[in-house]
Amino acid sequence: IQRGLHIVKVGTTGQYGTPNIDIEEGYLTINHNGRTDTLPYPKQGSSFYDLSKVHDSNNMAFTCMAWGIRATDLNQGMAAVGHPLIVYGKGGQTRGYLGIRDTVQCVELVIANPAQLGDFRAFNQFT
């Protein structure tokens, strides 16, 4: 593995599941029994596809730690922010779509601003 390598993966926010707390980008600081630590945000995919992305992310984070490469995980998703939703067909769709231009812009940004050697970053992109 080339040491200066920067891996960029386009993933899905589906790997987080539907927790009843805010979804943080990559890591979550917790306090348990009087001790504090920062851990990877819990991932609870609800399909085999989501779980495959969870495993991709875990493998990338381990690779960064073990071999000192750098990686960025761009998780895609949709969120309701007060804008009307577009209904396609009969309204039975169960998945959202993200504009390819938005995704390409995010990929360009992380390529221009790579993670530090040994770092694994995760960013959540919503439309």
CATH code for position 10: 3.40.50.720
The residues annotated with a catalytic role in the active site are 12, 49, 53
Note whether residue 111 is domain-resident: yes
- Cβ–Cβ < 8 Å for 15, 57: yes
Domain count, the chain: 1
pLDDT, tens digit (0-9, with 9 covering 90-100), for 45-97: 888 988 999 999 999 999 999 999 999 998 876 555 555 555 666 766 655 56
Note whether residue 97 is domain-resident: yes
What distance in Å separates the CA atoms of residue 86 and residue 72, rounded to the nearest whole number?
30
Note whether residue 43 is domain-resident: yes
H-run or E-run covering 28: strand 27-32
Highest mean pLDDT: which range of 34-38, 63-67, 89-93, 119-123: 34-38
Note whether residue 1 is domain-resident: no
Full residue range of the structural domain in which residue 13 is found: 6-126
| pLDDT value for 34 | 97
Overall pTM surpassing 0.85 (yes/no): no
